Amino acid sequence: MAGRNHLYIPGPTNVPNEILNAMHIPMEDHRSPLFPKLLTPLLQDLKKIFRTETGQAFVFPATGTAGWEIALTNTLNPGDKVLIYRFGQFSHLWGEMARRLGLDVEIHQETWGKGIPLDRLEARLKEDTQHEIKAVLATHNETATGVTSDIAGVRKALDASNHPALLFVDGVSSIASLDFRMDEWGIDGAISGSQKGFMMPAGGAFLAFSQKALRATETSTFPRCFLDLKDQINSNKDGYTPYTPALPILYGLRKALDMLLEEGLDNVYARHFRLAEGTRKAVAAWGLKICAQPGFESDTVTAIMVPEDKDARDVISAAFNKYNISLGGGLSELAGKAFRIGHVGDMNDVSMLGAIAGVEMALLDTGFDIIPGSGVAAAIEYYRATAK
């Protein structure tokens, strides 16, 4: 098929040519006196994306999933109680990881389409008068359902209950795309990955930890080696890494940070809102519903529900095989019930109009009763009216 594949999944996302070119480098000596000139400014600028001045940033040659494990095993002890709300596949997987690592996981089931229920969270924390809960695990943006939770509200619940639990946030599909304020929201561990808002290939786990979380590493007894924060701290202070780094990831991150900071984080957040809102206007014009309930809509991914007599996998197949467009599938409980459009990373209005047009053709081809051009027209009018 002529032309390139159009990637409209919520990660990995499109990689700009500027970042691809920056990653295309010869290998170099990562123990040379020049290497700290690359790594030290990277870690400082990464803190700007997390919006922390008091925390410390880290880069691991790994993924966001490894970031979950880094947060848990470096600050907690086997048998510690952690609290998590399950409202999608990725909050489920994080809780399952904690269980497999030997933590006492208190999972609260929530409707898929909603986020963290702040009132019930606060009530549960107030019940825990002995402070048995050592960490709250909060999924900021649940990629499976297109749901964003209120992390500032989670911090307010912790403060209102005077609870000392650590607050760890999965920001893999939110950081560098959605408003994220580590210091202001009192986050102790922020976890992200290279393949979404950072617009890079998978292979980089980007994290930041508060001073409170770093102090907790001194009493953690979990066995660890490759994912040990102490090794990173000891090496990073001199501008080095404890083992061979993924140099292309570091050079790609340098360019990604430059691009994000040049655009301005507030502009990045506003752009993602516009991309998402145009997509939501199109979905409404088709007469379909999104998974996220009002107030929980994500600006990086939209999960679109299909009628009971339809199978979302048919839409995904038609989009890929006829129009060379990759869409996200429904995961776990949403398999066959939803498909997902990613609007994260290196995208603009015209990018999204291409996605919406391709989805619209796939919907028509699979028997959906929609008016041709309706979704595209709705998105066009929104984008035109809000363009600067």
β-pair partners for 338: 305
* 223 CB neighbour count, 10 Å cutoff: 8
* 144 CB neighbour count, 10 Å cutoff: 28
Domain boundary among 232, 262, 292: 262
pLDDT at 216 over 70: yes
Task: Give percent above pLDDT 70 in the chain.
Answer: 100
Question: Where is 109: in which H helix or E strand?
Answer: strand 104-109
User: To the nearest whole number, what is the mean pLDDT of the chain?
Assistant: 97
Instruction: Enter the tokens of residue 187.
Output: 């986050």
Quote the pLDDT of residue 367.
97
pLDDT at 2 over 80: no
Structural domain contains residue 367 = yes
Question: In the chain, how many H helices and how many E strands?
Answer: 13, 14
pLDDT at 103 over 70: yes
Tell me: do 215 and 357 sit in the same domain.
no
Tell the burial category of 30 from Cβ atoms under 10 Å away from its Cβ (0-12, 13-18, 19+): middle
Tell me: do 115 and 211 sit in the same domain.
yes
pLDDT at 347 over 70: yes
Tell me: do 280 and 253 sit in the same domain.
no
Domain boundary among 262, 284, 309: 262
- Residue 181: give its domain's CATH number: 3.40.640.10
Instruction: Enter the tokens of residue 212.
Output: 């409170």
pLDDT digits (tens, 9 = 90+) for 251-306: 999 999 999 999 999 999 999 999 999 999 999 999 999 999 999 999 999 999 99
Note the pTM of the prediction, 2 decimals. 0.97
Quote the pLDDT of residue 4.
83
* 21 CB neighbour count, 10 Å cutoff: 12
Tell me: do 225 and 316 sit in the same domain.
no
Tell me: do 254 and 298 sit in the same domain.
no
Cα(317)–Cα(72) distance, integer angstroms? 38
Tell me: do 43 and 109 sit in the same domain.
yes
Quote the pLDDT of residue 138.
98
The two beta strands, 289-290 and 301-305, are antiparallel
Question: Where is 327: in which H helix or E strand?
Answer: strand 325-329
| Predicted confidence band of residue 1 (pLDDT cuts 50, 70, 90) | low
Contacts of 145 (CB under 8 A, 6+ apart): 87, 88, 112, 113, 291, 292, 303, 334
Structural domain contains residue 342 = yes
Tell me: do 226 and 272 sit in the same domain.
no
pLDDT at 184 over 70: yes
Contacts of 155 (CB under 8 A, 6+ apart): 167, 185, 186, 187
Question: How many structural domains are present in the chain?
Answer: 2
Structural domain contains residue 1 = no
Q: How far is CA 201 from CA 62, 197, 266, in A?
A: 11, 11, 24
Tell me: do 219 and 287 sit in the same domain.
no
pLDDT digits (tens, 9 = 90+) for 117-140: 999 999 999 999 999 999 999 999
Quote the pLDDT of residue 3.
81
Tell me: do 258 and 295 sit in the same domain.
no
Instruction: Please give the DSSP secondary-structure letter assigned to residue 333.
Output: G
Instruction: Enter the tokens of residue 229.
Output: 């924060």
Cα(77)–Cα(56) distance, integer angstroms? 21
Quote the pLDDT of residue 388.
83
Tell me: do 26 and 169 sit in the same domain.
yes
Instruction: Please give the DSSP secondary-structure letter assigned to residue 66.
Output: H
Structural domain contains residue 123 = yes
Quote the pLDDT of residue 108.
97
Contacts of 157 (CB under 8 A, 6+ apart): 118, 121, 122, 125
Task: Give percent above pLDDT 90 in the chain.
Answer: 98
Structural domain contains residue 323 = yes
Boundaries of domain holding 273? 6-12+265-386
Cα(153)–Cα(172) distance, integer angstroms? 19
